[in-house]
Structure formats: C-alpha cells, structure tokens
A and B are shown apart, each in its own frame.
Chain A
Amino acid sequence: GAGVSQSPSNKVTEKGKDVELRCDPISGHTALYWYRQSLGQGLEFLIYFQGNSAPDKSGLPSDRFSAERTGGSVSTLTIQRTQQEDSAVYLCASSLGDRRSPLHFGNGTRLTVT
C-alpha cells in the first residue's frame, strides 16, 4: 500500500522567506510526527499529533515553526522567516497511535536556506 508521502522532496529558499512542507500519512494512522535531521546529526523530534491535536510540540525550536493537521490526515509544517540554521532534512512519520507501534517515515524534504 501507499507509504508516507512528503512534498516537496527538495526546497531551496532565500533567508527570510516562509516555507510550507507537506506530509500525507498512511491511511488509518492516527499519529503523525515531524522530525528533522541536520547534517551529521541524529533525528530531532519536533512535534507529534494524535488526530488533529498536538499533545507534544516540545521540540519546535522557535515560534517561527508551526504545524497543523486537518481531517486527521494531511499535516503541514510551516517555517516563517527562514534562517540558514533551518537547513535540514525534515522527516514526517505516522503510526497506528499505540506507543509501541513502529513509526513509518516518509523520504523527507531537504530544505536549503541560502
């Protein structure tokens, strides 16, 4: 079946611009996560959705970052006034919602801020 889909796969933007990243989770998965991986680093948790609500947004680095999920499905991660340190691969994952259900990741969006 279809996996987690992320778009765009690559995004180059100028410093100061806003960007929007999209994630389409696996159908029926109630939980959705955003992580990011900076060069040479591990996966850094950003935010977690259960349905449309975000019980844990503790990983969002600043108020320039926001995310929403509508209809219990598609999610968008928005970064306002991008900075060069925002350059990273942004990964979305979904799961069945049980704490021990494995996360299924998309292929990520590589964001480059020039």
Chain B
Amino acid sequence: DQQVKQNSPSLSVQEGRISILNCDYTNSMFDYFLWYKKYPAEGPTFLISISSIKDKNEDGRFTVFLNKSAKHLSLHIVPSQPGDSAVYFCAASGVTQGAQKLVFGQGTRLTINP
C-alpha cells in the first residue's frame, strides 16, 4: 500500500533549466508535506515543506506546489545547478498516521547536466 508515490525514478535536466519533480498521494488525511534531498552515503536533508492550507511555498530556488483536489505536489527548482544532482524524496504526514510518522515516496534521482 504505497500511500506516497513518485512515479519517475529518474530525471535529467540541463543546467540552468527548471527541474520539476512530482509526487502523488492517496491518503486524504495527509495535511503536511515535505521534500528531502539525499546525496550518496549521506542521510536525507530537509529541503522545503508545505501545509495543506497553502498551495505554494517558496524558498529561494525551490518552490513546492500542492494541489489537494488532485492529491499531487511538485517541487520546482529554478535555475537548476550541478549541486542539485541528488535523490529527492517527498514525504507526508497526517494526524491519523500517528502524530509524527512521515510516509516517504520511493525517490526520484535528479541529474543536472552541464
């Protein structure tokens, strides 16, 4: 039962262009969403989050969009830089999941090409 899905295992983008990573969820009780970034041999690091009362949150080059009716969120990175090459995980939480449990997607490997 995959409640959070990232259907693209990998994405390749040219440096300077926009990277768009997508995530779908099935549980309508999720009310808080996060994106994490992971480099090889390191733990994931928090990138950006969004509450379900918003549809957009921006932090520098990173913007997360939430479409609750479609149960879909996306992460936009613009402009993309070589250091953005990593695996990106979306995650979700909701009160019924247990107060603190984050449910993660399978991850999307982003490669930024020079």
Contacts and interface: CB of A to CB of B under 8 A. Distances in A.
Interface of A: 4, 31, 33, 35, 40-45, 48, 50, 55-56, 58-59, 91, 93, 95, 97, 99-100, 102-108
A103 B105 CA distance: 15
Interface of B: 4, 6, 32, 34, 36, 41-46, 49, 51, 89, 91, 93, 95, 98-107
Contacts of A107: 41-43
A68 to B, nearest CB: 18
B46 A103 contact: yes
B49 A48 contact: no
A102 B104 contact: no
B41 A56 contact: no
A103 B102 contact: yes
A105 B44 contact: yes
B101 A45 contact: yes
Contacts of A43: 44, 89, 91, 102, 104
Given A4-B43, A97-B100, A102-B34, 20 more contacts: A31-B100, A33-B102, A42-B89, A42-B105, A42-B106, A43-B44, A48-B100, A48-B101, A50-B100, A58-B98, A93-B43, A95-B100, A99-B32, A99-B99, A100-B32, A100-B49, A100-B51, A102-B49, A103-B46, A107-B42
